[in-house]
């Protein structure tokens, strides 16, 4: 590797501080610490990043010190849905058109036309803005921190500048005809799980290079010294409560309703049970927290449920729990919270779908239950409450699994392998 730092430009236009933003910051910390073999004092990389101006993580990124090349922002509607004129919205929601859109031929034509409109109204203008920002950074490689459908404008911009492109695929999303065309302009795909890699290939992605690099945690963030007392006091949770936790954005597919229903069944057996739900409402479903609170009231468990909102102290939240539940009702691309819970030495019960089944061996380092099966989840919770030695054994094995498979050093090495392959093929 050259002693001259390679300039890496990252692009993530997510509107909120979700999993991709957390993962990117960890990766940046690891890459910024890398030193070149030819000169141990010289950094291997100079990092720059472009973020959505609406993302509250911008300040945290600027304070991190990892981005010597700067933290730039750009306005973006990513994650906020399409904005249509009133007449178009009225037509889209009309009953007749809704029925017609179910016909396969019309549906395909409708989606193709929609992509053309979106290309003209949103993607191309944003691509031109991104090209201008990227041109000022002079990157050796541009790393898009999410799937092709949300990186369309950036991929166009980087390809116009003839820069090598990496796309970090973090979701199980379909690809349009335009997305499949864009995949030909990507030099390398990094998949966060084998489940994602398989799904993207089935969707028609044409990858010159593809590599599965699982997400990671910084084990230093999860020391054994973390104790539950302070946060339980802050949240008015009894010190001797059996605390079940569910962490993640408040979106329907994350399955908080399953957690509530299963927890209600647990309370029939466990008199000290308490449920802690940590996560912010998603912009796509702003009313979901109210619906979940109503469900808790219907289940007569409101006094045993705490909605903690967005928390930036995830290790401390996890240390407060006795059990972590991952309750997604749809396949999870990876399941960052799962390895975080395992790193925090907490037993994890998770939905058996998507990337999660690549992490947990049920009965060995955690428990798996069918997605959406609140009865199975309730049974697993009751089992761990009744058998604390089993819970401790699973927790210890979970921590060991993270130490051997999901460390930051392993993650950085995997990403660097992709960089070296691409940059080696294009020269300095």
146-163 residue pLDDT tens: 999 999 999 999 999 999
Which residue do the tokens 């973006």 mark?
76
Cβ contact 345:399 at 8 Å: yes
Sign of the alpha-carbon dihedral angle for 182, 187, 193, 195: positive
Q: Split the chain (428 residues) into runs of 10 and give each run's mean pLDDT.
A: 83 88 96 83 93 93 95 80 51 56 52 76 94 97 96 97 98 95 97 98 95 97 88 94 96 97 98 96 90 98 96 94 97 97 98 98 98 98 98 98 98 97 72
**pTM of the predicted model as reported, rounded to 2 decimal places:** 0.90
Q: Residue 176 has which token pair?
A: 């349009």
Q: Give the pLDDT of residue 106.
A: 46
pLDDT digits (tens, 9 = 90+) for 306-339: 999 999 899 999 999 999 999 999 999 999 999 9
Cβ contact 218:249 at 8 Å: no
Q: Give the pLDDT of residue 205.
A: 95
- φ, ψ for residue 50 (rounded to 5)? -115, 125
Distance CA 75, CA 384 (A): 47
Q: Residue 10 has which token pair?
A: 């990252």
Q: Enumerate domains of the chain plus CATH numbers.
A: 6-92+113-216+407-426 (3.40.50.2000), 219-405 (3.40.50.2000)
Cβ contact 25:34 at 8 Å: no
Distance CA 29, CA 38 (A): 21
What is the C-alpha R_g of the chain? 23
Distance CA 365, CA 362 (A): 6
Which residue do the tokens 């409450």 mark?
385
Q: Give the pLDDT of residue 65.
A: 93
Q: Residue 280 has which token pair?
A: 């912010």
């Amino acid at each position: 590797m050259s002693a001259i730092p390679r300039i890496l430009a990252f692009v993530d236009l997510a509107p909120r501080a979700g999993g991709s933003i957390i993962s990117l910051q960890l990766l940046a910390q690891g890459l910024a610490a890398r030193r070149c073999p030819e000169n141990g004092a010289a950094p291997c990389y100079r990092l720059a990043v472009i973020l959505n101006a609406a993302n509250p993580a911008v300040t945290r990124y600027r304070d991190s010190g990892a981005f010597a090349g700067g933290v730039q922002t750009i306005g973006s509607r990513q994650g906020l849905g399409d904005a249509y004129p009133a007449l178009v919205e009225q037509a889209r929601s009309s009953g007749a058109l809704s029925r017609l859109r179910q016909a396969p031929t019309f549906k395909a034509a409708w989606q193709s036309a929609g992509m053309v409109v979106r290309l003209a109204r949103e993607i191309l203008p944003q691509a031109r803005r991104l090209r201008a920002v990227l041109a000022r950074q002079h990157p050796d490689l541009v790393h898009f921190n999410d799937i092709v459908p949300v990186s369309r404008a950036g991929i166009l911009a980087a390809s116009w500048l003839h820069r090598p492109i990496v796309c970090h695929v973090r979701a199980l999303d379909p690809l349009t005809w335009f997305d499949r065309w864009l995949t030909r302009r990507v030099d390398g795909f990094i998949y966060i799980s084998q489940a994602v890699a398989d799904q993207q290939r089935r969707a028609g992605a044409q990858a010159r290079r593809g590599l599965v690099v699982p997400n990671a945690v910084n084990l230093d963030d999860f020391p054994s010294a973390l104790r539950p007392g302070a946060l339980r006091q802050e949240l008015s949770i009894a010190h001797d409560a059996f605390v079940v936790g569910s962490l993640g954005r408040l979106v329907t597919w994350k399955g908080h309703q399953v957690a509530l229903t299963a927890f209600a069944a647990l309370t029939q057996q466990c008199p000290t049970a308490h449920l802690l739900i940590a996560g912010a409402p998603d912009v796509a479903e702003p009313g979901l927290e109210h619906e979940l609170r109503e469900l808790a009231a219907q289940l007569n468990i409101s006094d045993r449920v705490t909605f903690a909102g967005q928390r930036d102290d995830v290790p401390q939240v996890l240390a407060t729990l006795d059990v972590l539940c991952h309750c997604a009702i749809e396949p999870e691309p990876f399941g960052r919270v799962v390895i975080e819970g395992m790193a925090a030495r907490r037993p994890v019960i998770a939905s058996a779908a998507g990337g999660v089944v690549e992490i947990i061996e049920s009965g060995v380092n955690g428990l798996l239950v069918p997605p959406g099966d609140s009865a199975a989840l309730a049974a697993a919770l009751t089992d761990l409450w009744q058998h604390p030695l089993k819970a401790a054994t699973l927790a210890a094995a979970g921590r060991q699994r993270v130490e051997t498979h999901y460390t930051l050093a392993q993650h950085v090495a995997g990403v660097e392998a992709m960089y070296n392959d691409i940059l080696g093929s294009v020269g300095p």
